[in-house]
Amino acid sequence: MKHLLSIADLTRSDLDELLDLAASFLSVTQRETPKVPALRGRTVVSLFFEDSTRTRLSFETAAKRLSADVMVFSVATSSVKKGEGLRDTVATIAAMGIDAVVVRHAAAGAPRRITEWIDASIVNAGDGRHQHPTQALLDAFTITQHRGRDLSGMRVAIVGDVRNSRVARSDVQALSMLGAEVTLVAPPTLLPETLEGWPCSSAVDLDPLLPDLDAVMLLRIQHERDASTRFPSLREYTARYGLTEARARRLRPDALIMHPGPMNRGVEIAAAVADGPQSVIGEQVTNGVAARMAVLWKLLGAGGDVV
């Protein structure tokens, strides 16, 4: 495995290996000194064409815990503003002798194009509405930590702005590969136009599903995209799809409540629910570092010891 571009590229055994690695690295991050020399001398560049401090910081933390050097290519102050194209920007970074590039880009497919141009390993940290594979990995890892590796027969709902969500698309692929039955829940205007290629079902009503769910993931209403124009009002969205305290009480006591963050508290999730005992939202962030250590180690460190 040289790149991680899409969950769809992974076999079940790739996925199992990454989840095993994530578990090993989670235990590393809980040590007194949460750092291993595995990637000493390797250089990882983060190249983010869209803002995302959360994801960037998670990757940087992961890389530093593996003792890699981390460099930030800040697009805001880069040659990109002088009209340099993506290809030359990437070629320049590659020529400096780096080992991996973590890329976020507004255009679906940009990370895959980059693999055609340079030799380094490419990790997709989100491309348009297409894929966000490390998010899917950390979400799958979080569920399996609570339910075991075999998710056969488990029911997971992903609720919200599914149409715009690379998280939903990636999560569906990862969770269904592990056996889960995933249902996308959203107003019709926020569902994909077709479910072809999505190994899951969809629903317009959340309430009937609640008592049977093993996990429910609320997606962020993305004000900065066009989501909020696709339903009458935030108040109405919350009334039908928000995980309010009343709805949360109808979940099984062991159902997991998840959110990729950043949350709009009071919109897609009530504050008390986000902070309640069934929420694993903080675990998701913690597991994100472990999952990204697993990915970077798999791509760059193969052959050496994990710890």
Pairing assessment for the beta strands 100-105 and 43-48 based on DSSP bridges: parallel
Establish if 176 lies at the interface with its own copies (CB under 8 A): no
| 3-state SS assignment for residue 246 | helix
Minimum distance of its own copies from residue 252's CB (angstroms): 25
Establish if 302 lies at the interface with its own copies (CB under 8 A): no
Interatomic CA distance for residues 42 and 45, integer angstroms:
10
Minimum distance of its own copies from residue 48's CB (angstroms): 8
Establish if 179 lies at the interface with its own copies (CB under 8 A): no
Catalytic, 132? Answer: yes
Q: What is the largest CA-CA distance in the chain?
A: 56
Establish if 95 lies at the interface with its own copies (CB under 8 A): yes
Interatomic CA distance for residues 33 and 129, integer angstroms:
38
Establish if 114 lies at the interface with its own copies (CB under 8 A): no
Establish if 276 lies at the interface with its own copies (CB under 8 A): no
Interatomic CA distance for residues 188 and 183, integer angstroms:
14
Catalytic, 81? Answer: no
| Near its own copies in 205-224, by CB under 8 A | 223-224
Interatomic CA distance for residues 78 and 82, integer angstroms:
8
CA distances from 3 to 27, 50, 120, 248 (A): 25, 20, 9, 39
Nearer CB in complex with its own copies: 212/275: 275
- Looking up tokens 């990790």, which residue turns up? 123
> Do 46 and 56 meet the contact criterion of CB atoms below 8 Å apart?
yes
Establish if 201 lies at the interface with its own copies (CB under 8 A): no
Catalytic, 55? Answer: yes
- Provide the binding-site residues for its own copies, judged by CB under 8 A: 29-30, 32-35, 40-41, 43, 51-54, 57-58, 60-61, 64, 69, 71, 73-74, 76-79, 81-85, 88-89, 91-98, 223-224, 261-265, 282-286, 288-289
Name the residues annotated as catalytic.
54-55, 82, 104, 132
